[in-house]
Amino acid sequence: MKDSQSLSAAVIKDSNVSRLPESLSFQTIDDYIFTLPGYGAQVATFGTMIGFLIFISSFILAIFIYILTTQKKNIFGILKAEGIPNRYISRSVQSQVILLATTGMLIGLGLTVLSGLGFGDKLPFMIQPVFFLIISSLFLICAAIGGIASVRVVTKIDPVGAIG
Amino acid sequence: MAKEKALLQMIDVVRDFKQGGEVVHALKKTNLSIMAGQLVAIIGPSGSGKSTFLTIAGGLQLPTSGVVLIEKTDITNMNSKQLSDIRLNRIGFILQSSNLVPFLSVDQQLELRSRAVGQSVNKVSRDKIFQELGIESLRSKYPSELSGGERQRVAIAKAIYGDPNIILADEPTASLDTKKAFEVVEIIARQAKDHKKAVIMVTHDERLIKYCDVVYVMKDGILSLKK
Ligand SMILES: Nc1ncnc2c1ncn2[C@@H]1O[C@H](COP(=O)(O)OP(=O)(O)OP(=O)(O)O)[C@@H](O)[C@H]1O
Ligand SMILES: [Mg+2]
């Protein structure tokens, strides 16, 4: 520490240390890591990938639920022709969507945590409750959107089509 | 006298469709009464208006003009929810493509109706129907595991489970061989004879006519008695 020429950087925990050479400037560890070559770009790349993955998954989830319902359009048409109330059919669709989305989400969360434990130290893995909560709610919201669209389809089916 | 037992009446019923700029007269002025205990057949070429007639008789669509009375109740000014109620309680449908839900067992097909109205299964009437139609052994099977004839029996069971007084059948024997077709029509005929229902059956198959009390011919939207 006496020779200011031979010291180009120092990592310290206490910013009150004042016996460092004047030529060095202070920087927090986080700020410094971001100046490492490629680090910022890497974080941005992974962040974008993960973001899009979540976005696409939610989108597929909504579409999937919508298709699942519209595939049964003929059956719903027959039920409506038989006088089964719209309310009952819509409610069944809604409760099935909720059940499906919740079960899927719980299984997904479970598998995520399990695989995190399985990887152990080999892979950096951290459980971030806030992050998980946001993703889970996003999935549920998208499932709900798919469900609402499905219910609209069901209500609009014309039972006359059942006879032809 | 006879009028009192009329379960289905049509008075000056007309149904037009607007297609493009043209008007299609699918059903021209129709008057008829169908009594309890009657099995009525409607035959006629494709596109003559049979399905149009049947859907109006069953409260699936309303006529352009005229009056439809189902058990003395005028349905012509009803909204879609009221019509749905009429269909649920007064009418049983036996459809061409056999109106079964593919992922429900035979038992569950009937259970669905009870559930939809918030009731538990009426085991007594279900078992009675299964026995009458000879399908007790099929109760836990799924539609894909049934033969065409069996499927149509289950469709009949489903149609009569709510004990409606009117039964409407659209080509109930379409996919069956002659022997099976006769068996199915015999069951349908019994609903009229033994249970005093009014049954209307649309069919292409003139051999089934011998089971029917009245036969109408539909041609270009005009319904007339067959001579
Ligand atoms: N929703 C509709 N819009 C326009 N035209 C229709 C509609 N429904 C029926 N039609 C027309 O009314 C006529 C009668 O049709 P309908 O389906 O009643 O015949 P059908 O006797 O049942 O024939 P098929 O034996 O082939 O079932 C046909 O010309 C048909 O094109
Ligand atoms: Mg038809």
Out of A78, A84, A164, whose CB is closest to B88?
A84
Spell out the domain ranges in chain A.
1-35, 42-163
Residue among A35, A13, A97, A24 nearest A62 (CA): A97
Q: What is the pTM of this model?
A: 0.84
Selected for mutation to probe chain A from B95, B110, B142, B203 (highest A CB count within 10 Å) is B95
pLDDT per residue rounded down to tens, chain B (227 residues): 444 579 999 999 999 999 888 999 999 999 999 999 999 999 999 999 999 999 999 999 999 999 999 999 999 999 999 999 999 999 999 987 778 999 999 999 999 999 999 999 999 999 999 999 999 999 999 999 999 999 999 999 999 999 999 999 999 988 888 899 999 999 999 999 999 999 999 998 888 899 999 999 999 999 999 87
How remote is the CA of residue B157 from the centroid of ligand 2, in Å? 22
How remote is the CA of residue B217 from the centroid of ligand 1, in Å? 15
Alpha carbon B113 to chain centroid, angstroms: 17
Instruction: Kindly calculate the radius of gyration of chain B based on its CA atoms and give it in whole angstroms.
Output: 17
Q: What is the DSSP letter of B98?
A: -
Q: How far apart are CA B15 and CA B61, in angstroms?
A: 10
Q: What is the DSSP letter of B5?
A: G
Out of B86, B158, B170, whose CB is closest to A163?
B170
Q: How far apart are CA B49 and CA B222, in angstroms?
A: 8
Query: H or E stretch including A61?
Result: helix A39-70
Neighbours of A82 (CB within 10 A): 24
Q: How far apart are CA A140 and CA A104, in angstroms?
A: 10
Cβ < 5 A residues, ion ligand 2: B 51
Name residue A142's amino acid.
C
